[in-house]
Amino acid sequence: MQRRTFLMGTAAGAALAAVPTGSLLTGSAAAAPAVAGSLDELQAAIDRARPGDRIVLADGSYTVPPDRPLTIRNKRGTARAPITIAAQSLGGVVLGGVQSFVLDASSHLTLSGFSFRQSSTLEIPDNCSHIRLTRNDFQLADIEGLHWVMVRADDSEVDHNHFHGKTTLGVYLCVEGAGTEEMAQRVHVFRNYFSDHSFAGSNGGEPIRLGVSPRALSPAHAVVEYNLFERANGDPEAISVKSSDNTIRYNTVRDSLGGIVLRHGNRSRVEGNHLIGGTDGLRIYGDDHVIVNNHLAGLSGRALVIGSGSARDHLPGEPADQRRGNDAPDRVVIAHNTLVNNHGMLSGESQRPHEPRDVTVADNLLVAESGELVTMANTVRFTWLGNILWGAAADGNIPAGGFTRVDPKLRTGRDGIARLTAGSPAIGAATLRRRYVTHDIDGQPRGRARDVGADEYTRGPVRREPLTPADVGPRSR
């Protein structure tokens, strides 16, 4: 392989900062950065990097020596001039060995276009910030218990990556923080493809885990959006939320065992997600959540579960072993969701002593041809308003006055989504005074007279559909 010494000034790096990895080195030689042809050259370029530099490693397979990982220490780009370390072409650089990059006290830094095949966790430590992992392929060694990526740094971004091919215990992407109770702040996870996790155990194979039980009461303000999960069968939880104040929106979970689970923590918002043709849907524990605009169809398990608690509430200072239990749902709003032909529709739990309280279930659309539409256990001070039930399935134990049984006149499109048609009694029938939603699951405005269910009837274009592999991952827009 021809090797050239890396040499590039800050101005050149800034000019190339916005160029996608896949288009590198396609222009004139004068416009392109020099390419590091070895790990030693790459390390030397990293050591002298300045804000705005773009460092490129030539395509090839590299085994990183265990005693000499690629170390990024005290490297600080800026918001306008990040330091970028990139593969020559998307997926063209394969990094094997025990470790690849080791980060320390660095910020505004991007790793782009690599195929990670290492045998230890890629750590983004808490003494870093504004670290971006973009357009990479993650298929680390298939080692029992190995988590692949651990993010502890504030303001990190994980986007347009593909995580795939794990058969053993371990999580694809973990977000935690410093110490034992803190959470990284404002982590943004978007446009990733999580696929083909086939661990057969009952727990511990999540694609995404936001926190762990000791961190449950810590606000994280993470946003997880526009990600696709397919054949995510390593755990009943595709997205496991174990922290507070997060947003989970516009994701698609298809043909997977896992669903979206608010396992620990409070005040999260779950909005506009598609869960199609898998096993589990949404499961809720904790307080003050908002669950709106989700579409759950063809699930063989439980579509929407309002859980029960081993504790009424988790409290600051409680022992860590107590925090592992379930927090009963209180003051949760469940509105404008559509549930169609799932084996279990809207249900509760009775195996724990603390029932959900003060939950609002309003303006949802439930349609099925068998079973029962609502099977709640003990509840306290629930509010049931404006729901529409239909199909051969029995009503279940939803209180009289909390629903109308009427044909909503749905039509299922080629994308598998059931939408309202002209003349539907769901049009303009929403009852909640507070506007928990301004748009529907398709991204269309709700207007003043809102419709029941996730879809707002309109002749306008659909702006958000269920995601496909073309919409996510390293080569997507």
Q: Is residue 221 classed exposed, middle or buried when 0-12, 13-18 and 19+ CB atoms within 10 A define those classes?
A: middle
pLDDT of 203-225, one tens digit each? 999 999 999 999 999 999 999 99
Rg (CA), the chain: 24
End-to-end CA distance of the chain: 31
pLDDT of 399-427, one tens digit each? 999 999 999 999 999 999 999 999 999 99
Q: Is 424 helix (H, G, I), strand (E, B) or coil?
A: coil
Q: How confident is the model at residue 457 (pLDDT cuts 50, 70, 90)?
A: very high
Q: What angle do CA 34, 39, 40 make, to 5 degrees?
A: 85
Query: Quick check: 419 and 367 in contact, CB under 8 A?
Result: no
List Cβ neighbours of 373 (8 Å cut-off, separation of 6 or more). 345, 346, 366, 389, 391, 393, 394, 395, 396, 398
Distance between CA atoms of 14 and 436, rounded to whole angstroms?
42
Structure tokens at 206: 């999540």
**What's the predicted TM-score (pTM) here?**
0.93
Distance between CA atoms of 146 and 167, rounded to whole angstroms?
11
Query: Residue 338: what are its φ and ψ, rounded to 5°?
Result: -120, 125
pLDDT at 319 over 90: no
Residue whose structure tokens are 């504790």: 311
Distance between CA atoms of 55 and 452, rounded to whole angstroms?
52
Structure tokens at 253: 């979970």
- Residue ranges of domains in the chain, CATH in brackets: 160-471 (2.160.20.10)
Residue whose structure tokens are 């460092």: 55
For residues 441-460, give the mean pLDDT: 95
Task: Supply the mean pLDDT for the chain.
Answer: 92
pLDDT of 28-68, one tens digit each? 333 466 799 999 999 999 999 999 999 999 999 999 999 99
What b/e string do you get for 130-148 counting C-beta neighbours within 10 Å, with b at 16 or more? bbbbbbbbbbbeeeeebbb
Structure tokens at 211: 């926190």
The closest of 333, 332, 286 to 310, measured between CA atoms, is 286
Residue type for 124, please? I
Structure tokens at 34: 């020099």
Residues recorded for the chain: 477
